[in-house]
Amino acid sequence: MQQNAPAIKTEIVRCFQKLYAQGTVNLFEGNLSVRDGDVIYMTPSQQNKETMTPEMILTLTPEGEILTQNGLKPSSETPMHLALYRLRPDIGAIVHTHSACATAFALAGREIASELAEQYLFFKGSIPCCAYGTPGTDAVFADFPRYFAHEGKNAVLLANHGLVTVGKTLEEAFARAEAEEKTVVSAEDTWILISGGSLTILNESGRDADGIDSNGHITMTGGTVLGSLAGGSSSARILVFGSVLCLIPALAAALLYKRCRHIDA
């Protein structure tokens, strides 16, 4: 056991309770973990976040063997966390939430794409949506090798489920989970505001895109298409209102999901 175990457990409880206060998880859902050397610190399953204490945080081996004997079970999503740690040696912490905006996009099966500089710095571009997997099963993280290992993403949506963010530290993973909600709201609001206007488009490096090609597509170095603007034309207005209309059923579904979703702790 590492000497800084008490501090790590205290920080996990503090972040978990902050997520609950922000409304991104309910009383018994969501989970987070920290890796410190060969020890994984994991939140317990089905425990009230308001009364959670550092002594309730479990420790495990990278293979999933429980080291803590406190009478509690680790989160049902522990295999997902362990799989991520195996994929990326640089990951030091993982946060899984069911924040309202992320869940809306996850229910709609849509990636989160925005031109915020923050999105490029925090998320390495868009936040993709993984294929659906029943919570608590290996199918949940079947797409993780593609997005986290091959594409180097730091956040993904889980279809019909929620959000997963990672970081070198718990603070970094938490900050990404927090920033995602702002990114989603900004992405949708942007399409409303730029109707008849213009938008500075960024490439993967966070710099301005190179320009607009003959088809009206916004491009960056290498000719990759980033998006399309049509000024104040009717097609732009259709795109704007279509985007908004597509979001309405997703938000409605998120509200319904909030009432009857699977408890994922």
Q: What is the pLDDT of residue 135?
A: 87
Is 77 designated active site?
Answer: yes
Is 170 within 8 Å of 9 (Cβ atoms)? no
At 102 the pLDDT is: 87
DSSP type of residue 103: H
Query: Topology of 5-184 in CATH?
Result: L-fuculose-1-phosphate Aldolase (3.40.225)
pLDDT, residue 10, reads 97
More confident residue, 181 or 145: 145
Q: Is the pLDDT assigned to residue 153 strictly greater than 80?
A: yes
Q: What is the pLDDT of residue 12?
A: 98
Q: What is the pLDDT of residue 229?
A: 36
- Which residue out of 11, 29, 77, 180 is catalytically annotated? 77
**Whole-angstrom Cα distance, residue 20 to residue 259?**
16
DSSP states along 144-167: HIIIIIIS--SEEEETTTEEEEEE
pLDDT of 187 > 80? The answer is no
Q: Tokens for 17?
A: 């309770």
Specify the range with the lowest mean pLDDT, choosing from 19-33, 144-158, 161-175, 194-208. 194-208
- Mean pLDDT over residues 196-221, rounded? 45
Task: Check residue 75 and give its pLDDT.
Answer: 96
Q: Where are the domains of the chain?
A: 5-184, 192-252
Contacts of 263 (CB under 8 A, 6+ apart): 28, 29, 46
The pLDDT of residue 114 is: 66
Q: Both tokens of residue 40?
A: 């994984």
pLDDT at 122: 66
**Of 191, 189, 185, 260, nearest in space to 230 by CA:** 191
- DSSP assignment string, 12-42: HHHHHHHHHHHTSS-TT--EEEEEETTEEEE
For 52-109, the pLDDT digits (tens) are 999 999 999 999 999 998 999 999 999 999 999 999 999 999 999 999 888 888 998 9
Confidence at 2, pLDDT banded by 50, 70, 90: low
Task: Supply the pLDDT for residue 124.
Answer: 72
The structure tokens 């915020």 sit at 116
Q: Report the chain's mean pLDDT, rounded to a whole number.
A: 77
* Per-residue pLDDT, 231: 39
- Determine what percent of the chain is predicted with pLDDT higher than 70: 64
Q: What is the pLDDT of residues 225-235, one digit of tens each?
A: 334 333 333 33
Per the model's pLDDT, the better-predicted residue between 202 and 108 turns out to be 108
Q: What pTM was estimated for this model as a whole?
A: 0.74
